Amino acid sequence: MKTKMKVRKAVFPAAGLGTRFLPATKSMPKEMLPLVDKPIIQYGVEEALAAGCDQIIIVTGRGKAAIEDHFDQSYELESLLQEKGKSDLLAIVRQISDMIHVAYVRQKQALGLGHAVLMARELVGNEPFAVLLADDVIDGPKPCLKQMVEAFEETQSSIIATQAVDGPMISSYGVIDGKQIKGGKFGGRLFDVKNLVEKPKMEDAPSNQAIIGRYILTPEIFKTLDRTPLGAGGELQLTDGMRLLLKKEKIYGYNFEGVRHDTGDKLGFLKATVEFALKRKDLGKPMREYLKGLKL
Ligand code: G1P
């Protein structure tokens, strides 16, 4: 019997320019924008760790040094906090750099998500890996990637996170055409993918199951991405690479349990900020009172 493959590595494409958040992102990576007091990318990294990954690979670009500094030790800050006896803050700062080993690779040109994933080829090697799009912050009873890892342990095949999106917004996503696997261990959450399309017109969308930014991929994806032609927006699309992968291997969609916040969108970012603040022990009560008092 073949030994079961484990997902140990998590890739974070983070080379995008963040034009939707200008001027905030002129000199600061969008991944470092905070939801309450934690940078967006840290939510994703914590999710990957909670799912059992122990190696983080961040695909960066120009102007992204703040991400590297964030996950590194900050000698000056740590000694200052130590001197001042601020042990609670020191613990928070150390927890970030102690978190894990992070490797970085540069994507020199913004040629699309598929291209970003391809940049991680050498660091990933010949094993299954996760891809997390940090913009999609997912708040679930169980971390989304953990749910997907459990499905991967059963299927040993690539898994894509999906969520139902109805109406014209479906055109902003990759969309799967899949057959729901009823019952079983995953209670109808698993879909047998037959086809996938990147950003279809509403009338061409094969279903309402939109791809959300969490993937578990087999290393075969690198070979297919290598020969995937440029697609929507003139970019090398991961969705197109997966469509080619489908010719060789099975792919499953996983309709995860949880709320997804699109923090790459201004309104989505604001909603996530409010919801996360409401959930906080230290901020929930005053935040609720403040919101109630707004004359809307
Ligand atoms: C990317 C993917 C798309 C997916 C989306 C989820 O698109 O290409 O398939 O549905 O992320 O957030 P982007 O939002 O980068 O245009």
More confident residue, 120 or 79: 120
Q: How many domains does the chain have?
A: 1
User: Residue 101 falls within a domain, yes or no?
Assistant: yes
Which atom of ligand 1 lies at the shortest distance from residue 16's CA? Answer: 15
Q: How far is the CA of 164 from the centre of ligand 1 (A)?
A: 14
- pLDDT-based confidence at residue 1 (cuts at 50, 70, 90): low
Which atom of ligand 1 lies at the shortest distance from residue 136's CA? Answer: 12
Q: How far is the CA of 85 from the centre of ligand 1 (A)?
A: 45
User: Residue 60 falls within a domain, yes or no?
Assistant: yes
User: Residue 1 falls within a domain, yes or no?
Assistant: no
Longest Cα separation, the chain: 65
Q: What is the CATH number of the domain that holds 31?
A: 3.90.550.10
Q: How far is the CA of 212 from the centre of ligand 1 (A)?
A: 7
Range of the domain at 118: 9-264
The neighbouring-strand residues paired with 190 are 254
The neighbouring-strand residues paired with 191 are 180, 253
Cα separation of 18 and 30, whole Å? 5
Residue 111 has what pLDDT?
Answer: 92
User: Residue 140 falls within a domain, yes or no?
Assistant: yes
Q: How far is the CA of 21 from the centre of ligand 1 (A)?
A: 17
- Over range 230-237, report the average pLDDT: 92
Pocket test for ligand 1, best of 111, 211, 225, 251 (most atoms within 8 A of CB): 211
User: Residue 289 falls within a domain, yes or no?
Assistant: no
User: Residue 4 falls within a domain, yes or no?
Assistant: no
- The answer, yes or no, to whether residue 246 has pLDDT greater than 60, is yes
User: Residue 103 falls within a domain, yes or no?
Assistant: yes
User: Residue 286 falls within a domain, yes or no?
Assistant: no
- pLDDT-based confidence at residue 169 (cuts at 50, 70, 90): very high
Residue 2 has what pLDDT?
Answer: 67
Residue 202: is it exposed, middle or buried by C-beta count within 10 angstroms (0-12/13-18/19+)? exposed
Which atom of ligand 1 lies at the shortest distance from residue 238's CA? Answer: 8
- Over range 202-226, report the average pLDDT: 97
Residue 250 has what pLDDT?
Answer: 97
Q: Is the CB of 18 under 6 A from ligand 1?
A: no
Cα separation of 277 and 269, whole Å? 12
- Over range 96-106, report the average pLDDT: 84
Instruction: Render pLDDT for 32-79 as a digit per residue (tens, 0 to 9).
Output: 999 999 999 999 999 999 999 999 999 999 888 999 988 888 888 888
pTM, 2 dp: 0.94
The tokens for 130 are 């996760």
